[in-house]
Amino acid sequence: MSDRASATVLFTVNGRPQSMTSHPLRRLLDVLREDLRLTGTKEGCGEGECGACAVLFDGEVVNSCLVPILQAQDVTIITIEGLVQNEKAKLLQEAFVQCGGAQCGICTPGMVVASWNLLERNPLPTDDDLRSALSGNLCRCTGYTRIFEAIKIASGKLEQAAAK
């Protein structure tokens, strides 16, 4: 990528409009981490296998290591830093801490993003829903049990909050 091709891309990250002039094939992951200093999004494998770099891309979970920045034109992106501003997502984050859903923490931002997206689409996930929704997010520490528990607890709390 030492050739100096460049493109200007307009997109929104965590509610803030961004304009980036960059090599069109530069990874979204690098733009987030290096240019915007949003280092909560992690790189685990660089080939879309581990999910540590998961972000919401117009409401879909994507691995930002596989997205060239050019594809982000007009897209709304939410990273883990964006979820911190969301009161409901905070319940999920708290549940991760409470249940032991985070150990070393490196997969956690991607895991939280993917599980938040699951809860938005499916507020009362079954164990099978959880297994398949999170099978793209690898965790080497927990064996996933406590992550599932955190999501189920958050799901219950969100239901309660919605009923009020």
How near is the Cβ of 164 to other proteins at its closest, in Å?
A: 24
Is the Cβ–Cβ distance between 35 and 20 less than 8 Å? yes
Query: What is the C-alpha end-to-end distance of the chain, expressed in Å?
Result: 54
Q: What distance in Å separates the CA atoms of residue 144 and residue 138, rounded to the nearest whole number?
A: 9
Rank residues 40 and 61 by Cβ distance to other proteins and give the closer one: 40
- Residues 102-141, one symbol each (x = binds other proteins by CB under 8 A, - = not), give xxxxxxxx--x-----------------xxx-xxxxxxxx
Does 146 contact other proteins by CB under 8 A? yes
Task: State the CB neighbour count (10 A cutoff) for residue 21.
Answer: 10
Residue 81 touches other proteins, criterion: CB under 8 A:
yes
Whether residue 13 contacts residue 32, with contact meaning beta carbons closer than 8 Å, is answered with: yes
Helices assigned H by DSSP within the chain: 28-30, 80-83, 87-99, 108-121, 127-133, 145-163
Applying CB under 8 A, which part among 11-19, 73-81, 118-126, 156-164 lies near other proteins?
73-81
Contact positions with other proteins (CB under 8 A) in 33-62: 33, 38-47, 49-50, 52
* Chain residues that interact with other proteins, rule: CB under 8 A: 1-2, 33, 38-47, 49-50, 52, 79-81, 84, 93-94, 96-109, 112, 130-132, 134-148
